[in-house]
Structure 1
Amino acid sequence: MTGPRVLIVDDQSLVRTGFRMILNARGVNVVGEAADGVEAVSAAGQLRPDVVLMDIRMPNLDGLAATRQIIALLPQCRIIMLTTFDLDRYVYAALAAGASGFLLKDVTPEHLSNAVRLVGTGDALLAPSITRRLVERFAAESAPTRLHRDLTPLTPRELEVLTLLGTGLSNTELACELMLSEATVKTHVARIFAKLHLRDRAQAVVLAYETGLVSPSGSPA
């Protein structure tokens, strides 16, 4: 088996078995399973996975609380939230808790394996269109007060990039908007992450909204 080491967390055994079979068939190493958040935190501490597929709604300890605990324990671990509902109201909270993206449980086998590999490389699993809808639909109720975060380390250009990134633009779209090469955009994004200690694009989107750079309508404030 190659690629990221994966822990599957879901209270339905059929879901766990199905995902394990799909990932194993595509050469992804599933190192363990857990049926609730408590088991997930314990398993993560023992197995130290690279990626966790995490159900949001579970007994004993839900996916949000488990995500916070696992990231506190393993800062480099990537969490992909699983939900049965498109734009579940908990997804924004999950991203704020440190998750790197989310998938619907009816995801295709190919999309599932590709998503795990993508997040395992350190990228975030957030399509720009989904990002825009997330901010517009749920951010206002999830983060009603502006977060006071020091953005002074950023240059004016980096602040501009962060603002546009927060509206859900991809690197290609950022390059077109700012009339820069994609390589230059990637450099700006990497510097923003380093200066603000952000894990990935998902955290950048959340930060852009919570600091007031992006309004609840999903556009620059």
Structure 2
Amino acid sequence: MNRDLIRVLLVDDHPVVRAGYRRLLEQGGDMAIDEAGSAEQAYAAFVRQPADVCVTDLSLPGTGGLELLHRIRARDDKARVLVFSMYDSAHLVRRTFDAGACGFVSKQAAPEDMVAAVRAAHAGRRFLSANLSRHLLHAGADDESRCLDSLSQREFEVFRLLAQGRSAADCAQLLNISQKTAANIQTRVKAKLNVSTSAALVHLALRRGIIAPG
């Protein structure tokens, strides 16, 4: 492989989406693309051969993209990870940057944004899609946002999984933690978010754009 090429690991569970982004990224002639359809496959691929830039969707089967970001950054704190997602609420964008992402690309952005994001990440620069206001990184001083901000990274990942209909047992398996730990985190999440039922937790996630309707 040409050492001058930017090695990109593209992570999305939809083969058609990966194929489209792969063609887009390869058009410039300076990128070589590897693919993965899940967080587990992506982490194994990163361990075998670290990519210059990892580009991951947030919504992946099993372990999500946010947890993949945590694992890659825990293994290599200099790893460059871009997040792309159809979910682009202010809180979620801030959360990904707080977790160590070097860029966020909205799936509603122009295709050229992905190419620009990968090149910016490779050059060590932060990137935010042109269709997203940089005020997103500082927005949200209301009580609900403060409650969300109070969640640790692990608590937030459990919150997202619970909001997607996962059980505490599912969270334990997907995040490689004990069922007791998952249950304790679930209790803390509900307390911090001031919700007492699973339905209320789901409604909060919908209101804040953490998950999509349906």
- Fold shared per TM-score above 0.5: yes
What do the CA deviations read for 1:49-75 (whole angstroms, capped 9, x no partner)? 011111001111101110010111122
Q: Post-superposition shift, 1:112?
A: 1.6
Q: Return the letter of the residue paired with 1:101.
A: G
Q: Report Cα offsets for 1:53-100 as digits up to 9, x if no partner.
A: 110011111011100101111222211111113326432222111111
1:7·1:31 contact (CA, 8 Å) conserved in 2? Answer: yes
Please give the secondary structure, in 2, of the residue aligned with 1:123: coil
SS at match of 1:136: coil
Question: What is the alpha-carbon distance in structure 1 between the residues aligned to residue 62 and residue 97 of structure 2?
Answer: 21
Task: Give the corresponding residue for 1:131.
Answer: 134
1:142 aligns with 2:145: no
User: SS at the partner of 2:23?
Assistant: helix
CA contact (8 A) 1:9 1:33 kept: yes
Count of equivalent residues = 145
Q: Write the mapping of 1:3-152 to structure 2, written as runs, cut at 5 A.
A: 3-87=5-89, 89-126=91-128, 130-137=133-140, 140-144=146-150
**TM-score by structure 1 length?**
0.59
Gaps of 5+ in 1: 146-221
Q: Is the alpha carbon distance of 1:30 and 1:82 closer, same or farther for their aligned partners in structure 2, counting shifts above 3 Å?
A: same
Q: Identity of aligned pairs, percent?
A: 28
Answer yes or no: is the 8 Å Cα contact 2:69–2:100 preserved in 1.
yes
Distance 2:137 2:70 in 1: 20
Return the letter of the residue paired with 2:117: A
- 1:4 to 1:75, Cα distance in 2 relative to 1, 3 A: farther
Contact 2:57–2:85 under 8 Å retained in 1: yes
Taking only aligned residues, the RMSD between alpha carbons, in angstroms, comes to 2.4
Give me the whole-angstrom Cα distance separating, in 1, the residues matched to 2:27 and 2:128. Answer: 25
TM-score (normalizing by structure 2): 0.60
**Could you tell me how far apart the structure 2 residues matched to 1:112 and 1:89 are?**
21
Provide the C-alpha distance between the structure 1 equivalents of 2:90 and 2:13, rounded to a whole number of angstroms: 17
Structure 1 pair 107–28 and aligned structure 2 pair: CA distance change class (3 A): farther
In the alignment, which residue of structure 2 is the partner of 1:154? none
Spell out the pairing of 1:139-218 with structure 2 (5 A cutoff).
140-144=146-150
Contact 1:83 1:105 in 2 (8 A): yes
One-letter amino acid of the counterpart of residue 14, structure 2? Q
1:8 Cα deviation (Å)?
Answer: 0.2
Q: What secondary structure sits across from 2:8 in the alignment?
A: strand
Contact 1:8 1:30 in 2 (8 A): no
Amino acid of the structure 2 residue aligned with 1:134: L
- 1:103-137 deviation digits (Å, cap 9, x = unpaired): 01243332221111011111111379733223213
**SS of aligned partner of 1:5:** strand
Amino acid at match of 1:142: L
